[in-house]
Homo-oligomer: A and B are copies of this chain.
Amino acid sequence: MQVSSSLASAIDGELFWNDVKAQAQIGALFPRGIRRLALDDQDNRARLWLMEQGETLGCSAHYDALGNVFLRREGRDPSLPPLLIGSHLDSQPSAGAYDGTLGVVAGLAVIRALAERQIEHARPVEVVSWTNEEGARFAPGASGSSWFAGRRDAETILAMQDDDGTTFKTALADCVSLLKAHGAHFRPTPVVPHAFLELHIEQGPVLEDQGAPVCVVTGIQGVHWYEIEVTGQANHAGTTPETSRRDAFMGALALVDALKKAVVAHDDQTRFTIGRFALSPNSVNTIPQQARFTIDLRHPDPVVLEALDTAFRELAKREWSGCTARLEVTSRVEPVAFDEHLVAVLDEAVKTYWPQAPRLVSGAFHDAIHLAHLCPTAMLFTPCRAGVSHHPDEHIERADAEVAVRTLAHAVEQLLQIRNS
């Protein structure tokens, strides 16, 4: 492997992979996978582990009002906004060991390389673990990063309850006691970072298909969620002639067909998924009275999303096989395009290791979607086997992950202007 960056070559692949494996032990499931729900005992242990590693590397540990944990490697000028690197340590209920964790451990590997080589830098560098990215225990997720970026207010987040009725606030209090007891310092207000970098597994099949160990992520797709209700008339399946039918299933089919045609009219970057579908009364010999289904629509370009939104609304106004339709928007997240300069820096780093690597737009959400509203933000992806995530079978190759971490280090070196320092 060609190594053109001194910080990249200072990455200790063995220790980095040991860290990944050590994290995989916290909340481990048998025979594989992990379970670390936000602010539960395992999630808290994972944070303490992170703090311990930071201490041995000479970092100070900090936490904020949402329990986000920061390891700070001081710069020559502590007043400069820090370069922030990280992701999250919480997981889905039955998850793999890499989603989130990889990005935090990668930040740690960069800090370790800086410490090992005793590299000085003007700007502080911080590794962050954001609280409750997954939203599996407290929904919605990305609590820590969205609050940090000023996108959601703390009150609403603290009031969320898990299935047992425990509030986020109560769970957070336990976590904070532990962090304090282990010497972490409280930071009352978020500091606007110089930039935020997040390395994450792709959670899709593209990189594996192309054999690329790493790539730049240029943004995150916007998502519209719709709920559509098609209403016809229930009737006897045997006695009702075709011409007298107002079959809600057939109406839904015709509408879906038209929706698909509207989607195909745009480029192939659109993601259109009907994940939930139900009929009522749902009886073998009764013509359906009603069909209800959801649409998950994603695109990196807000203009395309808006055009499709208009098209969908128009289609829902028409009659479909004698049935009426009603469309409701249940969620709407605008796409994010990452900072051009930062993407260019990552691009250059990626090209050092894999010139033919594609540029991707993330189809999944990440903490970076919120940070992008606060400071220059960009991401790196590394492949996961068959695109599988949120499952114990989630798997990455050590060789790929190492290239990704070195790519990250290469970019950090540029951003810290270490050669000039």
- Taking beta carbons and an 8 Å cutoff, which residues of A are in contact with B? 202-206, 209, 221, 223, 225, 235-242, 244, 247, 249-250, 253, 256-257, 268, 271, 273-279, 282-288, 291, 294, 296, 298, 362-365, 387, 389-390
CA distance A288 to B282 in the complex (A): 19
- A236:B203 contact, CB within 8 angstroms: yes
Say whether, besides A268-B242, A284-B294, A296-B284, A236 and B389 are in contact (CB < 8 Å): yes
Say whether, besides A236-B363, A237-B273, A296-B238, A284 and B204 are in contact (CB < 8 Å): no
Chain B residues whose C-beta falls within 8 Å of the C-beta of A362 in the assembled complex? 238-239
Candidate in A236, A277, A365 with the most chain B CB atoms within 10 angstroms:
A236
- A287:B275 contact, CB within 8 angstroms: yes
CA distance A277 to B291 in the complex (A): 9
Which residue from chain B places its CB closest to the CB of A202 in the assembled complex? B239
Contact of A238 among B223, B238, B241, B244 (CB under 8 A): B223
Chain B residues whose C-beta falls within 8 Å of the C-beta of A221 in the assembled complex? 238
- B225:A284 contact, CB within 8 angstroms: yes
- A276:B284 contact, CB within 8 angstroms: yes
The 12 listed contacts between A and B (C-beta, < 8 Å) are A202-B239, A203-B236, A204-B240, A237-B271, A237-B275, A238-B362, A238-B365, A239-B387, A253-B253, A276-B282, A276-B283, A276-B284
CA distance A240 to B202 in the complex (A): 10
Candidate in A225, A268, A275 with the most chain B CB atoms within 10 angstroms:
A275
- A275:B282 contact, CB within 8 angstroms: yes
Which residue from chain B places its CB closest to the CB of A242 in the assembled complex? B268
Chain B residues whose C-beta falls within 8 Å of the C-beta of A241 in the assembled complex? 204-206, 268, 271
CA distance A362 to B276 in the complex (A): 36
Q: How far is the CB of A382 from chain B (nearest CB, A)?
A: 13
Q: How far is the CB of A276 from chain B (nearest CB, A)?
A: 5
Q: How many copies does the complex hold?
A: 2
CA distance A205 to B242 in the complex (A): 11
**A238-B362, A277-B277 provided; 8 other pairs, C-beta below 8 A?**
A204-B236, A221-B238, A236-B364, A237-B271, A249-B274, A276-B283, A277-B279, A277-B282
Q: How far is the CB of A369 from chain B (nearest CB, A)?
A: 12
- B205:A240 contact, CB within 8 angstroms: yes
- A287:B268 contact, CB within 8 angstroms: no
CA distance A238 to B389 in the complex (A): 12
Chain B residues whose C-beta falls within 8 Å of the C-beta of A253 in the assembled complex? 253, 256-257
Chain B residues whose C-beta falls within 8 Å of the C-beta of A244 in the assembled complex? 204-206, 209, 387
Say whether, besides A236-B204, A253-B256, A364-B239, A275 and B268 are in contact (CB < 8 Å): no
CA distance A249 to B252 in the complex (A): 12
CA distance A271 to B203 in the complex (A): 44
- A237:B284 contact, CB within 8 angstroms: no
CA distance A204 to B202 in the complex (A): 55
- A285:B277 contact, CB within 8 angstroms: no
Which residue from chain B places its CB closest to the CB of A204 in the assembled complex? B239
Chain B residues whose C-beta falls within 8 Å of the C-beta of A273 in the assembled complex? 237, 247, 285-287
Q: How far is the CB of A151 from chain B (nearest CB, A)?
A: 19
CA distance A288 to B387 in the complex (A): 15
